[in-house]
Amino acid sequence: MSEHPHTANASGGNKGGCLWLMLAGVAFIVLVFAIIIYSITRPSTDSVKANERAAIEACWKRANDETATPTSRSFAKDSCVEREKQYRIKFGDEPK
């Protein structure tokens, strides 16, 4: 009985709890990725396409706004280019 009672279980007494925590974390990450993939690949309707096109048009208006700072216009332009790229991937045609 030379072992201290608090250190006797420190080497492996809590492995089960840690394993479940890790598995729960992995399951959560898989769920998040599944939701993202579903939202990107779900069937698109004409109204969804129209909304996406309207968002891209509004984005380009912000990117070309002369009253905005050059930094914000540059950021908006990069965002618009990315939106158009995602539109092409999602719908298979040009947004305009």
pLDDT at 2: 53
Q: Does 48 lie in the same domain as 13?
A: no
Residues 6+ apart with CB under 8 A from 19: none
pLDDT at 51: 92
Q: Does 26 lie in the same domain as 52?
A: no
pLDDT at 83: 94
45: tokens are 């309707």
Where the chain has pLDDT below 70, the residues are 1-14, 16, 44
pLDDT at 46: 84
Q: Does 82 lie in the same domain as 94?
A: yes
Q: Does 61 lie in the same domain as 90?
A: yes
Q: Does 54 lie in the same domain as 33?
A: no
How many C-beta atoms lie closer than 10 Å to residue 56's C-beta?
19
Distance separating alpha carbons of residues 82 and 1, to the nearest angstrom:
66
pLDDT at 95: 85
